[in-house]
Chains A and B, each alone.
Chain A
Amino acid sequence: MAGITIESITKSFAGVTAVDNVSLTIEDGEFMVLLGPSGCGKTTLLRLIAGFDLPDSGRIAIGDRDVTDSPPGRRDIAMVFQSYALFPHLRVSDNIAFGLRMHHVGKDEVTSRVREAAELMGIEALLNRYPTQLSGGQRQRVAVARALVMRPSVILMDEPLSNLDALLRLQMRAELKHLLQDIKTTTVYVTHDQVEALSMGDRTAVMRDGAVLQCASPMEVYDRPGDIFVATFIGNPPMNIVRAVARDSVVKVEGVEVALPEASNLPAGTEVSIGIRAENIEVHTEALDGALPATVAVIEPLGSHLLLTLAVGAESIKASVRTDFAVKRGDPLWLELRQGSVRLLGSANQSGPSD
């Protein structure tokens, strides 16, 4: 068991900076999710921790051991690959036992630990099969068992669920979380799926262009995104971003004053962007003081709720309402932004998500 300290790590490939001066501290036993769009450097960061690539500069420590230049086999890590990377010429039992044998663990202990890991993952019946004889979900379990059997200080997972079908992914997500909470091993988990990031992690590091934009608990990242990119990358629908003009602790949106939860130090008249989640918008059918007048543009029934796309002046805002909310296209509505849920996201010219 050990935490991970990453200090000012930089890595470029052929002139392209994949990881740009990243520092990150992962606590012992923590479940850290690296989240970001493809090409953001999350997998490279994971591979640097694993030791498959070596950083151009910076330092990585696992526990209190500096492993910056150590080969992967001496880092006390175990990796679960997106493709599972099971050895096709070895039976499941030999796949799981591989690492133990490389570490010259005694025969009896290998047998008992393989059995133990297989039982944990519910794959005892598959031990004599070859990987090609397994389904995707079974391969996934073998890959996890092969990592757990090593009792590593750190488990690294590279999009382990992305090759499973939707239903199985949902099931494995809960099972993995349960399992990793039980064994309390430090875990770094790479995903581009924000639902996985929110539901599994103790903390989520949101990455873009090789940098960590925000590293906080999932609810914090969801509720108080650090910038427009995080706000729009996380959550479905993404956070509404609306241009506004600042004045003390109030911003003006389309001529209506909206209170900010905390005072801003912005000079009056500064153009800013504010963010608000769809579920934090109270929708009224009658005019209300301090509410934004809007027109219904799109109604999307999503089963549990209706998602409305509303035109507010030149802005487009999404709000969710109960399914029994009687509304039709073109109806006028009034939007009340719930107290304390409006987020100030910097000046308006800041860029949004790149993809």
Chain B
Amino acid sequence: MSAAIRRPRRRATPQRQLAYAAAGLITAFMLFPLYLIAVAALQPRTAVFDYPRALYPSPFSIESMAFFLNATGILPALGRSLVIGVMTVVLALALGCPAGYAVARYRFAGRDLVQLLIVSVRAFPILILAIPLAVTFINWNLYDSVLSVALVHTVMALPLTILLAASVFLRVPSELEEAAMSMGTSRFGAVWRIVLPLSRQGLGAAALFAFVLSWNEVFAAAVLTVRNPTLPAQIVGALGQSPLPFRFAGGLALTLPALVFIFFMRPYLFSAFGQARS
């Protein structure tokens, strides 16, 4: 909805240059290992053992990637991971938006306690949650299903989703809702027509976090699945017995979709970190 974010041009003062240098260093620190994984994954399988390491894939080869993707169970696992990620996003937003709205707009008894409890979900190690959940899901006939993993990922994503949604809704002046209500809509209508459209960016960021969380989560996914693992669970399960090129290819396959997703959601990401919207 908003026009491109315009930043005033500033002169490159020494402080700014220093800040850029620091940002560059941190970025390189994070990205270099990923880059090395990508290089290793895109080389012929034998080149993985070369020393010194190549800094670019030479010769370029999709042999490792093809081998990885053709391995038994990888493609279905990738599909399941995508489905679970999307389900997690949908469920987390469907539950997190109303909760976030309540925290943002209503003064109700026990509001502070609720906020504390929301965050405290993350205080439980997933280990403690996963075992009883596995038993419960077996009883419910949900074990080893896409839905069970998506439900657990939703629980893990909800605290951040709720807090992000609440902070995003707080940025919409309540006068806008009141104006809409005075013109004949219900509160729900005002939220639907005014608050949600104005919160797209922030909710997009919340969706991003939920997806990446689900995409990367391995422990709950490994405990709750046997024959139908997610991609990380599949890779972790196969890691011990697989050759090195397979591992690098797996690493790249895990990283790329998340990177692509983040790339497309990046304006939303910035808004979640409080960068001003125009």
Seen from chain A, the residues whose Cβ lies within 8 Å of a Cβ on chain B are 50-52, 71-75, 77-79, 81, 83, 85, 87-89, 98-99, 102-103, 132, 146, 150
19 more CB-based (< 8 A) A-B contacts, given A81-B179, A98-B183: A52-B181, A52-B182, A71-B186, A73-B183, A73-B186, A74-B184, A78-B182, A78-B183, A79-B178, A81-B175, A85-B173, A85-B175, A85-B176, A85-B179, A98-B193, A99-B184, A103-B184, A146-B179, A146-B183
Complex contact B186–A83 (CB within 8 A): no
Complex contact A73–B173 (CB within 8 A): no
Complex contact B181–A87 (CB within 8 A): no
Complex contact A72–B178 (CB within 8 A): yes
- Bound CA–CA A203/B183 (angstroms): 27
Q: Which residues of B contact A73 (CB under 8 A)?
A: 181-186
Could you say which of B173, B183, B278 has the most chain A C-beta atoms within 10 Å of its C-beta?
A: B183
Q: Which residues of B contact A99 (CB under 8 A)?
A: 182-184
Find residues 173-205 in chain B having any chain A CB closer than 8 Å to their own CB.
173, 175-176, 178-186, 189, 193-194, 197-198
Neighbour of A98 across the interface among B173, B180, B198, B278, CB < 8 A: B180
Complex contact B194–A50 (CB within 8 A): no
Q: Which residues of A contact B197 (CB under 8 A)?
A: 89
- Bound CA–CA A3/B76 (angstroms): 69
* B1 proximal to A (CB < 8 A): yes
User: How many residue pairs between the two chains, A and B, have CB atoms under 8 Å in the bound complex?
Assistant: 62
| Contact count band on B | 10 to 19
Could you say which of A51, A72, A99 has the most chain B C-beta atoms within 10 Å of its C-beta?
A: A72
Given A85-B175, A87-B194, A88-B198, A79 contacting B1 (CB threshold 8 A): no
Residue of B nearest to A102 (CB): B184
Q: Chain B interface mostly helix, strand, loop or mixed? A: helix
Residue of B nearest to A73 (CB): B184
Q: Which residues of A contact B182 (CB under 8 A)?
A: 50-52, 72-73, 75, 77-79, 99
Complex contact A89–B183 (CB within 8 A): no
- Bound CA–CA A102/B194 (angstroms): 13
Scoring B residues 5 to 45 as 1 if CB is less than 8 Å from chain A, else 0, what string do you get? 00000000000000000000000000000000000000000
Seen from chain B, the residues whose Cβ lies within 8 Å of a Cβ on chain A are 1, 173, 175-176, 178-186, 189, 193-194, 197-198, 278
Complex contact A89–B184 (CB within 8 A): no
Q: Which residues of B contact A75 (CB under 8 A)?
A: 182
Contact sample, A vs B, 9 pairs, CB 8 Å cutoff: A50-B178, A71-B181, A72-B182, A73-B181, A75-B182, A81-B178, A87-B180, A88-B198, A99-B184
CB distance from A60 to the nearest CB of B (A): 15
Q: Which residues of B contact A77 (CB under 8 A)?
A: 182
CB distance from A72 to the nearest CB of B (A): 4
Q: Which residues of A contact B181 (CB under 8 A)?
A: 52, 71-73
Residue of A nearest to B172 (CB): A88
Complex contact B183–A102 (CB within 8 A): yes
Q: Which residues of A contact B1 (CB under 8 A)?
A: 88-89
Complex contact A102–B185 (CB within 8 A): yes
- Bound CA–CA A71/B178 (angstroms): 10
CB distance from B179 to the nearest CB of A (A): 4
CB distance from A241 to the nearest CB of B (A): 39
- Bound CA–CA A88/B183 (angstroms): 16
- Bound CA–CA A172/B198 (angstroms): 30
- Bound CA–CA A24/B164 (angstroms): 44
Complex contact A150–B183 (CB within 8 A): yes
CB distance from B205 to the nearest CB of A (A): 18
Q: Which residues of A contact B179 (CB under 8 A)?
A: 79, 81, 85, 87, 146
Complex contact A102–B189 (CB within 8 A): yes
- Bound CA–CA A150/B183 (angstroms): 8
- Bound CA–CA A313/B178 (angstroms): 55
Complex contact B183–A83 (CB within 8 A): no
